């Protein structure tokens, strides 16, 4: 009888231990899932979107310090390709998706103006779309050809093929006309701005939100390049900033995108110079 009772106690102990181990296993599994969801994501693509995504990632990290958002450049086309292949969780694009890219999920986080920039000491104040096209096609080679007082040769600066900024410029300004092969090609907005700030006779284009005192944004047909003029429709050079995902975003990618388009995210982007309206 005593032996039987002992066996019963041992059985109950074994059952309790097994139940405890099961609880620990379930807890570890759930913790592991949560860890994978917040482990980290890669956001890659447009160098125009990149600095704004980095600001968003910094603010997101304050809210979720256990998460990791790795923001990388490479250009819009590279970002879309990375999102398509899964190399990046989110691709960044500063141009509309092409017809063959329409199968991808995308979200506009803001709009950005496209500024035509020159050296601050360049006396020119305004150009028309036609004059800009003449310059970039190579038909207007001197500043005097487009209303300037100087006979100096214009140094054209452009972005590389695959750049969303270049694609937007080509669509909005050039149409079917090709950019001159003599244009100086730079691989980022920062490089364009640096080159323009160092060369009195250069002209380039970049994100309006990145314009500072080192360069001068020209007016377009007498209209200043400002957020207000983009909103009221008087300044027509602007493009979308997109987050792109191959399929519906989930887990940390979804949380980061939701943060970008939340009231807090839009306020951050607006403060940084973008047009981020609900």
Strands 105-118 and 155-159: unpaired
Tell me the per-residue pLDDT of 116-142, one tens digit each, with 9 for 90 and over: 999 999 999 999 999 999 999 999 999
Strands 105-118 and 238-245: antiparallel
Tokens of 45: 């693509």
At 278, the pLDDT band (50, 70, 90 cuts) reads low
The pLDDT assigned to 111 comes to 93
On average, the pLDDT of the chain sits at: 88
Say whether pLDDT at 170 is over 70: yes
Provide the percentage of residues in the chain whose pLDDT is more than 90.
Answer: 78
Among 1-5, 137-141, 147-151, 229-233, the minimum mean pLDDT is found in 1-5
Tell me the per-residue pLDDT of 70-121, one tens digit each, with 9 for 90 and over: 999 999 999 999 999 999 999 999 999 999 999 999 999 999 999 999 999 9
Say whether pLDDT at 1 is over 60: no
d(CA 208, CA 116) in angstroms, rounded, equals: 9
Buried b (16+ CB within 10 A) or exposed e, 174-213: beeeebeeebebbebbebbbebbbebebbbbbbbbbbbee
Does residue 5 or residue 180 have the better pLDDT?
180
At 217, the pLDDT band (50, 70, 90 cuts) reads very high
The DSSP letter of residue 103 is T
The pLDDT assigned to 277 comes to 75
Say whether pLDDT at 29 is over 70: no
Say whether pLDDT at 21 is over 70: no
The pLDDT assigned to 103 comes to 96
Q: How far is CA 255 from CA 42, 54, 117, 212, 249, in A?
A: 13, 15, 36, 32, 9
d(CA 77, CA 71) in angstroms, rounded, equals: 16
Give the count of beta carbons closer than 10 Å to the beta carbon of residue 125: 13
The pLDDT assigned to 12 comes to 52
Say whether pLDDT at 162 is over 90: no
d(CA 49, CA 164) in angstroms, rounded, equals: 10
Residues with Cβ < 8 Å from 51, sequence gap 6 or more?
A: 210, 272
Q: Do 217 and 211 meet the contact criterion of CB atoms below 8 Å apart?
A: yes
Say whether pLDDT at 45 is over 90: yes
Say whether pLDDT at 194 is over 60: yes
Select from 278, 273, 269, 244 the least CA-distant residue to 115: 273
The pLDDT assigned to 149 comes to 86
The pLDDT assigned to 25 comes to 39
pTM of the model as a whole = 0.74
The pLDDT assigned to 209 comes to 84
Residues with Cβ < 8 Å from 212, sequence gap 6 or more?
A: 193
């Amino acid at each position: 009888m005593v032996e039987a009772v002992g066996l019963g106690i041992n059985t109950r102990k074994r059952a309790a231990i097994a139940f405890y181990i099961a609880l620990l296993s379930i807890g570890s599994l759930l913790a592991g899932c949560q860890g994978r969801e917040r482990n980290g994501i890669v956001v890659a693509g447009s160098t125009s979107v990149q600095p704004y995504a980095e600001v968003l990632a910094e603010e997101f990290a304050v809210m979720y310090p256990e998460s990791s958002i790795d923001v990388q450049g490479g250009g819009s086309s590279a970002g879309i390709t990375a999102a398509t292949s899964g190399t990046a969780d989110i691709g960044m694009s500063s141009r509309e998706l092409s017809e063959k890219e329409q199968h991808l999920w995308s979200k506009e986080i803001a709009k950005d103006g496209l500024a035509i920039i020159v050296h601050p000491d360049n006396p020119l104040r305004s150009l028309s779309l036609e004059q800009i096209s003449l310059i970039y096609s190579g038909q207007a080679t001197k500043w005097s050809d487009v209303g300037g007082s100087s006979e100096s040769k214009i140094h054209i600066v452009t972005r590389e093929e695959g750049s969303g900024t270049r694609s937007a410029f080509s669509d909005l300004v050039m149409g079917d006309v090709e950019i001159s092969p003599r244009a100086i090609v730079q691989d980022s907005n920062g490089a364009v701005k640096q080159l323009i700030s160092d060369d009195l006779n250069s002209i380039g284009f970049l994100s309006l939100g990145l314009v500072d005192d080192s360069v001068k944004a020209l007016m377009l047909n007498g209209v200043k390049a400002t957020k207000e003029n983009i909103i009221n429709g008087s300044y027509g050079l602007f493009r979308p900033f997109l987050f792109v995902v191959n399929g519906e975003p989930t887990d940390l990618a979804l949380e980061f995108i939701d943060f970008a388009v939340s009231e807090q995210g839009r306020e951050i982007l607006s403060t940084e110079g973008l047009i981020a309206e609900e």
